[in-house]
Amino acid sequence: MPGFRTLVWLIQLSFTSAAVLEERSRGSHDADAVFRPVGLAVGTGYSSQTSTVKTFKLNAASSFATIDYGAERAGWPFFDVLKVDRPLQIEIKYSETFPDLQLSSSDGPYPFNVGQANTFRVETFNITKAGRYSSFLLQGGQRWQSIQLLTDGAITFRNVGLEASITTVEPEKLPGKFSSSDDVLNEIWNLGARGTIASCVDEGSQRAVWEVDSKMGVHITNLRPAQTTKAIGFESYTLEFDAFIERGGIWWSVAHSFGILGGFHLQLVGELPSATTFVNTNKTLTPANTISLAKGYAFVNQTSVTSYLLDTFKVPFSVKEKTWYRIKTVLDPKGFLSVSINAKLVFKATLTNYYSGGGSISQSGSFGFGAWQDHAAYFRNVVVTDTANGSTLYTNSLKHQKVLAEYGTGENLASVCLDGPKRDRLVWLGDFYHTSRIIGASTGRFDHSTGTFDFLLKSQIENGQLSISPNLGYDPSIASAFAPTGSYFLEDYQPLGFLSFYHYIRHTNDVAYARKTWNQWEKQLNWLLGKISSTDGLVHFGSAFLGGADAGSAVSCVSAETLYAAADIATTIGKKAAAAKFRESANALADAINDQLWNDATGTYGLSTSDQSAFTVAGTAFCLTSGIASKKQVASAISALDDLQLGFGYKDSSNDDPETTDLNISPNTNGFLLPAILAAEDWERASELIYGVWGAMLANPETNTGASWEYITPQGEPGLGAYTSLGHPWGGAATYILTEWVAGLRTADGVEGFGYKNWILSPDLGFHMGLKHASATVPLFPSGQISVHWEIKKNGQMLVEVRAPKSLKGVFKLGKTKKTLQGKSKYRFTV
Ligand SMILES: *[C@@H]1O[C@H](CO)[C@@H](O)[C@H](O)[C@H]1NC(C)=O
Ligand SMILES: *[C@@H]1O[C@H](CO)[C@@H](O)[C@H](O)[C@H]1NC(C)=O
Ligand SMILES: *[C@@H]1O[C@H](CO)[C@@H](O)[C@H](O)[C@H]1NC(C)=O
Ligand SMILES: *[C@@H]1O[C@H](CO)[C@@H](O)[C@H](O)[C@H]1NC(C)=O
């Protein structure tokens, strides 16, 4: 994003001079780099019934403003205060849905990872004078915002907005396009496009989340502890540091995993003087002069991220703000954890007391520093010693910029795609599958695809695996830090990650990139081959997201699909022996799957050899899309799906009990299923699934973010509670499906189709949906595009128009009609 750094500098400048900012922003940089609200409601409470945005006033009679950005947006919040009649406090919240905005923590917090964003969705400001106010930390994904006046007085606002941390381009303006006679389908196409816009970020666009001062050390606010890379193997250590509470308290962690698992969390809250303590401070959660001890990710639970508050200890004296204290934490190999402040012991806890079943709690893992919601603090002069013998393990003044790289808190290191914009801000390997395909159909940001692959490939470990979820801020080549248990455990993310690379190559035919990275991919594929048992010929993983890790159909079929895909890429880059090897392995795996996993009684592929009667969406999807099923098996497996039908989609497994309250429909796995249903030419079923699952994301204006969802309940609500991501491109498969099967423009199968050298225009699904017209454009690599348009005329004939580079060959297919399109750059005909 050109001019981005200027923008950041201007925001910082604005702390002192709002007038200067306005002057410069008009002159020197792109006003598009700001997200503005589309709706505003001012009143006595939250309201989703918003009207025109204008200057507004909050006072005792009317203390709430609800702000609607219209769709998923991301950036650094700012607002201008025009007038304020006395010092007062306001609470600002952000959320993806309107209902969650009303929760006391809104739809956060997100202590799962640092993610170069605010851990919290609530922040409080002390307003003393007119001018511009900005947040230091970005809010990665929201449609809604509220501003509540917490104290007496009156305040007038204007220009509430977000300095964009992502591109501000709207889905309709992307290089890839789709439109049709049905507006619902057009909005469905936008879902995946907008999820991808919000989740794929440019290098350096997510700025540093710690500030470093050469005297005071690191300054931290509103952020969960970030761990150092230098203490990964540390065990039973003593950690000492200086801390200076600017407001509230300090948060730190010890014996903390470096991957995505948690550790011990400690929080010291100061005396909370009334002059500097916000009136909304939760003194039950953060009582004055205490240290809280927790295990997990934080001191509160947030849906699927579990934390255990183990104890809260009283500090035997008053802890002052703006005063340096020496904090000492001892992990004692005899099973104790103790904390002293200025050499006075606050507590010594027996860790085994916190396990009802006894046993020991691990004392190994890294440490880190953070600050709770609305807290701010400095940390410096860290010394770590071995508790048993006192030898020094680590020292760091925390006064140099290089701490940002060590603690993973600098700006994002590469152009990559995250799982979701507001949380789960990690570069998930297996979840990139749909995103990679959506990029081809919509944003055309192929640099985001190769940026993501490059980042993941840097995390490759000796055995060939890539990290399943590297962080934005750590150099991924420190992979051993995450291995083996850290972020390598979902083994099916390896083939899913490879398939996202395959789809990139299929779309672009970027042979140079395939050649450049092939050795690493081949190493990953060889790891995969090692997972095929010589006894039964099936894939045996230790754990798998798709289920049935050990000799299951989903993991075996996704692996077969991967090996066929690998053979195609190897062929394209002239690696004949490798191509033959992968194809033979895929064929053998296919035979083993059909021999051992097909169940005649259920008429589909069994979950695994140990549970033949159950079956899954993912197993059905990959056993069909890998092409290993016969025509008869395909038809039978598709009709067996009826037993998985739940609400408007399919539940993941026949073992899932629909009575379970937390059962969700996964747009991710239902997305894997769509191409399988289409390959079976079950137009009715495909149409119902698209309108069902993706239509549900649009149905309620209070939960619609205009972007694709992570999970949906069978009732059509966001799944996983407030925590869930409603900007997840992994749930956006309908986007490329509409381009490829409704407008009907896709590559031909196999190597011949790479880069659209041979393309197909086959709008069967759109035709069967009864559309009057549909159009699509796909961006080509490195440049160019193909555009198609068809419409049904009054006489029932279909008029077809195509523009494509002359060098590419096309075939039009609809039902039994077939027409070759080659040698021209424009085609127009009726059928
Ligand atoms: C807000 O700022 C005023 C003026 O600097 C100060 O007196 C007051 O203590 C501050 N309040 C809080 C909660 O920080
Ligand atoms: C304050 O924190 C406690 C403990 O986590 C929680 O039960 C309570 O709901 C919180 N109160 C508010 C207003 O958030
Ligand atoms: C979080 O939930 C778990 C149960 O899932 C519970 O044991 C634990 O006490 C909860 N933690 C907090 C901080 O409430
Ligand atoms: C202290 O203990 C650590 C870990 O057991 C060991 O590696 C180190 O050599 C010891 N140092 C001294 C001075 O004994």
Read off the CATH number of the domain in which 60 is found. Answer: 2.60.120.260
The verdict on 401 and 426 lying in the same domain is no
- Measured by CA distance, the residue closest to atom 11 of ligand 4 is 391
The reply to whether 193 and 235 lie within a common domain is no
Helices (H) and strands (E) in the chain, counts: 18, 36
d(C-alpha 547, C-alpha 541), whole Å: 10
Specify the residue for token string 């500097």.
276
* Radius of gyration, alpha carbons of the chain: 28
Among 379, 406, 433, where does a domain finish?
A: 406
Q: Is 175 a member of any domain?
A: no
What's residue 591's pLDDT? 98
Asked if 346 and 420 sit in the same domain, the reply is: no
Tens digit of pLDDT for each residue in 712-741?
A: 999 999 998 888 999 999 999 999 999 999
CATH for 551:
1.50.10.10
Q: Where residue 10 falls among pLDDT bands split at 50, 70, 90?
A: very low
Q: Do 750 and 816 belong together in one domain?
A: yes
- Same domain? For 401 and 528 the reply is no
Give me the pLDDT at residue 479, please: 76
Evaluate whether residue 176 is within a structural domain: no
Cis amide leading into 99 (omega within 30)? no
Identity at 773, one-letter amino acid code: H
Closest of 485, 514, 474 to residue 498, by C-alpha: 514
CA of 307 to the centre of ligand 3 (A): 6
* Residue 771 and residue 702 share a domain: no
pLDDT above 90: percentage of residues in the chain: 90
Q: Answer with the one of 706, 723, 739 that is the final residue of a domain.
A: 739
Do 349 and 329 meet the contact criterion of CB atoms below 8 Å apart? no
CA of 817 to the centre of ligand 2 (A): 65
Torsion sign, CA atoms 187, 192, 196, 198: positive
Query: How far apart (Å, rounded) are the C-alpha atoms in residues 59 and 51?
Result: 19
Q: Is residue 326 within a helix (H) or strand (E), and if so which, with residue range?
A: strand 324-332
Pair (395, 451) in one structural domain: no
Residue 177, domain member (yes or no): no
What CATH number has the domain bearing residue 812?
A: 2.60.420
User: Does 301 contact ligand 3 (Cβ within 6 A)?
Assistant: yes
Structural domain boundaries enclosing 576: 188-198+413-739
Whether residue 285 has its Cβ less than 6 Å from ligand 3:
no
- Kindly identify the ligand whose nearest atom is closest to the C-alpha of 300: 3
Residue from 89, 128, 129, 152 whose mutation best tests the ligand 1 pocket (most atoms within 8 A of CB): 128
> Which pLDDT score, from 0 to 100, does residue 25 have?
36
CA distance 298 to 308: 8
Regarding whether 700 and 826 lie in a shared domain, the answer is no
At 28, is the secondary structure helix, strand, or coil?
helix
Q: Give CA–CA dist 770/691, Å, rounded.
A: 13
* Token pair belonging to 285: 């959660």
| 356 CB-near residues (< 8 Å, 6+ apart) | none
| CA 642 to ligand 2 center in whole angstroms | 44
Claim to verify: residue 730 and residue 789 sit in the same structural domain: no
Last residue of a domain, one of 696, 715, 739: 739
Is residue 174, in this structure, part of any structural domain at all? Answer: no
Q: What is the predicted pLDDT for the residue at 486?
A: 66
**Distance from the Cα of residue 339 to its chain's centroid:** 36
Q: What is the pLDDT of residues 282-329, one digit of tens each?
A: 999 999 999 999 999 999 998 778 899 999 999 999 999 999 999 999
Task: Quote the ligand 4 centre to 237 CA distance (angstroms).
Answer: 11
Task: Answer yes or no: is pLDDT of 17 > 70.
Answer: no
Whether 77 is covered by a domain: the verdict is yes
Which one of the ligands is nearest to 234 CA? 4
Are 184 and 695 a contacting pair, CB within 8 Å? yes
Overall domain count for the chain: 4
Q: Does the structure show a pLDDT above 50 at 16?
A: no
Specify whether 725 is located in the same domain as 787: no
Q: Give the CA angle between residues 179, 184, 190 to the nearest 5°.
A: 60
**Atom nearest to 300 CA in ligand 2:** 5
CATH number of the domain at 227, please: 2.60.120.560
Q: What's the average model confidence in pLDDT over 104-117? A: 96
* Cα 275 to averaged position of ligand 1 atoms, centre (Å): 6
Which band of pLDDT confidence, cut at 50, 70 and 90, is reported for residue 32?
low
172 found inside a domain = no
Plot region of 570 (φ>0 → left; ψ -120 to 50 → alpha; else → beta)? alpha
CB of 278 closer than 6 A to ligand 1? yes
User: What are the tens digits of pLDDT across the range 436-487?
Assistant: 999 999 999 999 999 999 999 999 999 999 999 999 999 999 877 777 656 8
Task: Look at ligand 1, atom 4, and give the residue with the nearest C-alpha.
Answer: 128
Could you tell me the distance, in angstroms and rounded to a whole number, from the CA of residue 214 to the centre of ligand 2? 37
Same domain, 374 and 427: no
Instruction: Specify if 500 maps to a domain.
Output: yes
Strand partners, 305: 302
Q: Which atom of ligand 1 is nearest to the CA of 126?
A: 1
155 and 58 in contact (C-beta within 8 Å)?
Answer: yes
pLDDT per position as a tens digit, 370-405: 999 999 999 999 999 999 999 999 999 999 999 999
pLDDT mean over 657-674 = 92
The reply to whether 719 and 754 lie within a common domain is: no
Amino acid at 447: D
Q: How far is CA 392 from CA 237, 326, 577, 580, in A?
A: 10, 17, 53, 55
Residue 662, in any domain of the structure:
yes
Output the six-digit token pair for 190.
């936008």
Say which ligand is closest to the CA of 279.
1
Q: Which of 498, 494, 493, 470 is nearest to 413 (CA)?
A: 470
